[in-house]
Structure 1
Amino acid sequence: MNLRLIGIGAGVLVILSLPLAGAIAGPDFAGEDDGKGGGLLSSLGLSGPSRTPVAPGTPDAARSAEREVLPSQPGPDVRPRTDTRCGPELSSPHGVEAQTCVLESGGQTWGRSYYRNTSGRTLDAVLTVMGPEGRTVQIRCVVGAGDEPGLCETPQEESAGKPIDYSAVAEFAVPDEEGQLLLRSGSNSPEPGDG
């Protein structure tokens, strides 16, 4: 065999094993005790579960000098359920499509309108949520021209009453002095053809 080839292979093997040997040799090189929460093995994605030392003289010390601590598993998603009540999807001959909803979750209520604007011009949208006891929340959104869907959403407010006590209306208009209304969409709008 060619001695030069064997020498080069051995040199490459030594070079490749140095970082791993250094990581195993001491906690400072591995980054476990440097406060950085990482280290060479972690940065290479090779670190296993963390290990917790066991005090000498304890029952666990007789079985093993170290005990593996498995990473905690994430629990189930605990976000509260969101109830949504939407009106029908409506469209206007001017190139605006919208659907408006009232949402309730975790004691909060708000309005949302999904839209698509193919009119070729920027529009104004005013979304109003009306609730019990004369409560009203209103927001104005700029609706860009284009075929991409978007949404306009009011801030979330503390609920007062039942979800059925709330309604939302979105109005899409040309942003000029006359403010020509192109579409009105509500959370309780009748289906087209229902009168």
Structure 2
Amino acid sequence: MSGSGGTARCGPELASPAGIEAQTCVMTGGGETWARAYYRNTSGAELRSVITLMGPDGRTVELHCVLAAHDEPGSCETPRGTSAGGPDAYAAVAEYAGAGPVEEAPLLLRAGSDRAPGAVD
């Protein structure tokens, strides 16, 4: 799923039985770092995603995205920020959940830029 737009350090492509496929990457280029999540929503329903970029010294950037209910691939990315260390100093995680109140929406998938646990049963 990964594409162009800088140097990417991506985690594995993951899929959930609920109908979401995703891959999350830490992107670097031009002295900047950002997170990008690639996804495909085959669930037939609108979903929500939160992508978080975690950097050195506890700095984080978080972005909320809405995934339309269609089978087309898409991506969501955090704003770019000045790099404060190499790409290995950063990690990114994208979490995908159903629409509705945050407290009630089930977590469908968690995809990280590192080889971490993914699908939620």
Q: Same fold (TM over 0.5)?
A: yes
What TM-score results when the alignment is normalised by the length of structure 2? 0.88
- Aligned 8 A contact 2:110 2:117 in 1: no
Point out 4+ residue stretches in structure 1 off by more than 3 angstroms.
Answer: none
Deviation at 1:138, TM superposition (A): 0.6
Amino acid at match of 1:182: L
Amino acid at match of 2:86: K
Q: Superposition RMSD on alpha carbons, in Å?
A: 1.5
Q: In the alignment, what sits opposite 1:86?
A: 10
Q: In the alignment, what sits opposite 1:121?
A: 45
Call closer, same or farther: CA 1:151–1:96 in 2, change over 3 Å.
same
Call closer, same or farther: CA 1:191–1:130 in 2, change over 3 Å.
closer
- Aligned 8 A contact 2:98 2:107 in 1: yes
Call closer, same or farther: CA 1:156–1:122 in 2, change over 3 Å.
same
Larger relative helix fraction: 1
- Aligned 8 A contact 1:88 1:191 in 2: no
What TM-score results when the alignment is normalised by the length of structure 1? 0.55
Q: In the alignment, what sits opposite 1:144?
A: 68
Q: Structure 1: which 5+ residue stretches go unaligned?
A: 1-80
Q: What is the DSSP-based 3-state SS (H/G/I as helix, E as strand, rest coil) of the residue aligned with 2:38?
A: strand
Q: What is the DSSP-based 3-state SS (H/G/I as helix, E as strand, rest coil) of the residue aligned with 1:133?
A: helix
Q: Structure 2: which 5+ residue stretches go unaligned?
A: none
Q: Which of 106, 113, 117 matches 1:180?
A: 106
Deviation at 1:191, TM superposition (A): 8.0
Distance (Å, rounded) in 1 between the aligned partners of 2:86 and 2:99 = 35
Q: How many residues align?
A: 112
RCO higher in 1 or 2 (8 Å CA, sep ≥ 6)? Answer: 2
Larger relative strand fraction: 2
